[in-house]
Structure 1
């Protein structure tokens, strides 16, 4: 650790990631409808969503290695600058092609998560790394808690009407562009704060020339990937992300078909899910890790998701067995009783996902050397992005081609191999990554 005040630096990185994800979350309820407004089909709209993860897949390892060679701070500042440009383009897009270009640029800049993870690894000792990465996960959760709510606010009719009265006619104001501009302003504010208060965590003597570092780091990471421990962790990351993308991409379709929910109702549910993720990752992971260890938490989280992912589409059936509960809880007259069962399923599912993600991140961090943190996190981030690129397309095909329950059940089944992958790690490997 080279930062004079690690606690303050951790808070700054938490704020950067939170605001970055806040800007991203604002557009979650907007993107599909924005694509449809240009005449795109639902499939093309899904490709627009997937394009973010595709570019994140390509950019994450590059940004991670660049941060190893040039420092974490310049990479974080560069990515924030690119995100401001991307969200502005998204708001002024006059065609579907520009929309795709803006989304792809945003995805490339979203690869900075690997750099933020490496920053946490730089400033925290191994025994506290799970807590630090848990706080980073909490920033994710909080970003998704408040982001969609802000997106709905800026897309509302009164706010759009007020903006049209304020802005000149040259500014395209709509329920799609206004959230995009809001994301750009929030990210720009984040950039200014980071520029003035974010210290560098990697001293010059630990960096290398870009050409030399890139060659040696690729060799080191490929060697590490072929090892039994890290290979299983990266594969687990891929399967977790692939399985969970089925939920993320098809959840709104499910609630719309089963409950008739629109953006507002879904925003409430997603806000609740984000709050659970934030509480678990930011407050519970540390104490649970101290007691049970990262490996056991990763296995437990995967086991929970096996059951709960498959149970999500059947929540309306479960809800028929608790029809009187809805009358006892003041949750609104239009909320079907079955949604209580949905929340009962989504709560442990969110807990399981939080435990698995943070624990796998910590295990990956401990399996890599101090000078390989950026590259190692870039590798796992890329595995997750690749899964989220192809996962939604497959999930959509299962939803429309087989049945509404198919992508969720398939997602649960995909979690089962994780139990075997982690279980095959021998005691020596487990000891080396949890010591």
Structure 2
């Protein structure tokens, strides 16, 4: 749907409710990341069950997000954003109720392949809550479209930068909040209750403070300025680029360089999500961390990531090509997985520094290169297929991470490292492509 006129530029204060909603969304995800592994183990699950539960959200989001995006075009952003917030709110209510359910065994499994675990009544409730939250989890993507509706072209990039800051702050505060609250005598009850109250606040903000908007198309696709999520999953930009051409699944693979970039996308998310399943289990079973220690660790990574995405990346981008930064960042990122294997406290925190530096340098450059290869003509379609590739890799990686950790323990990190180093090897082709495109540009300008 194309807007009739350019919207008036909304200042920071006018967009504050939208930034707050984004912050609340990522904060809730940061909270659940910290204590979910403890609930799974308490209720009879193992690494495989944790991976399966973690993959439930992206699996259902893969189904729900495109539908919510289309509905937001048809029925308005505010109504769909409210629907999404209500879904999250109900999911947290179910999550809270699961803490009070009796731990009734429903099925016991003893397998050399799958490990030993028990499916209990609270575990089923947790699965249902995560499925509901995923199916209605289009709040971030609709919020991005909302911002495009409310701001003028010249202010849009600046406001998306503010949106990224709000998103990253949620990933700093969320794990820290869960870690602190989870160490009290009330265990996971306090962080879940806090997340529920925060979700209530988000719903009220949408209902009473957020203005209505009309769906619109933008003139060009703003290049991502930073990593959207510490978990490696960027926000999906669900707005439409004006004048772009929609293409089919088969046609996208005929575009120059795009299939190669989608392969890199898939492999990066695959490696990340093996780690995202294995590390929390590793922290509990091997390192014997409590929620506070795990929450502090994730907060440190998020804070370091914000620093790398700011002054560090800005300086590096002026001196080096994006393809070079992808190769260098990937090499550093792979090292962080290797440093985790010994289980040494010093090496684990050194790995956090490597994670922030490697991922913070590599990932924004991958996003930027993909955006340039797609061009304005096919931007929306290519970004949509990239999102699908990342979602599929996330589901496979989370499941594989649980299964791998059940079988080989910390060696799972070496497998994740091998996948990332495969990306590094393949990315040398990006260096060649970028040199070639620069040479062609110079010839055209002569």
TM-score scaled by length of structure 2: 0.72
SS in 2 for 1:314: coil
Q: 1:39: Cα distance to partner?
A: 3.8
Map 1:117-156 → 2, pairs under 5 A: 117=144, 129=157, 136-156=163-183
For 1:168, the equivalent position in structure 2 comes to none
Distance 1:30 1:371 in 2: 43
The 1:6/1:293 distance shift into structure 2, 3 A limit, reads farther
Distance 1:34 1:253, change over 3 A: closer
Equivalent residue number for residue 136 of structure 2: 109
Retained in 2: the 8 A contact 1:52–1:106?
yes
Task: Report 1 or 2 for greater relative contact order, CA contacts < 8 Å, sequence distance ≥ 6.
Answer: 1
Q: Secondary structure at the match of 1:4?
A: coil
Distance of aligned partners of 1:283 and 1:187 in 2 relative to their CA distance in 1, 3 Å threshold? farther
Q: Go from structure 1 to structure 2 and tell me whether the alpha carbon gap of 1:126 and 1:297 turns closer, same or farther (over 3 Å shift).
A: farther
**Distance between the aligned counterparts of 1:259 and 1:62, measured in 2?**
41
Give the equivalent residue in structure 2 for 1:392. 398
Is the Cα–Cα contact under 8 Å of residues 80 and 190 in structure 1 kept in the other structure?
A: yes
1:187 aligns with 2:199: yes
User: SS of the counterpart of 2:359?
Assistant: helix
Q: Quick one: distance in 2 between partners of 1:343 and 1:285?
A: 21
What residue in structure 1 maps to residue 418 of structure 2? Answer: 413
Aligned residue for 1:29, secondary structure, equals helix
- Separation in 2 of the partners of 1:310 and 1:5? 46
Q: Deviations over 1:332-362 (max 9, x none)?
A: xxxxxxx223222220222211223323333
State the shift of 1:58 in Å.
2.6
Q: Report the equivalent of 1:347.
A: 353
The Cα shift of 1:91 comes to 1.2
Query: Using the alignment, how far apart are the partners of 2:48 and 2:374 within structure 1?
Result: 39
- Alpha carbons of structure 1 residues 428 and 73: separation in structure 2 relative to 1, 3 Å: farther
* TM norm structure 1: 0.74
5+ long unaligned stretches in structure 2 = 1-5, 102-120, 220-240
Answering whether residue 42 of structure 2 is matched by residue 26 of structure 1, we say: no
Looking at structure 2, the residues matched to 402 and 351 of structure 1 have their Cα atoms a distance apart, in angstroms, of 28
Contact persistence 2:8–2:152 (CA under 8 A):
no
Match of 1:357 in 2: 363
Count of aligned residue pairs for this structure pair: 387
Mapped pair 1:232 → 2:260: yes
**Change beyond 3 A, Cα 1:278–1:402:** same
Partner of 1:16: 21
Q: What residue in structure 2 maps to residue 320 of structure 1?
A: none
Change (3 A) 1:415 1:39: closer
Structure 1 residues 238 and 48, CA, compared in 2 at 3 Å: closer, same or farther?
A: same
Q: Larger % of helix: which?
A: 1
Task: Report what 1:99 is aligned to.
Answer: 126
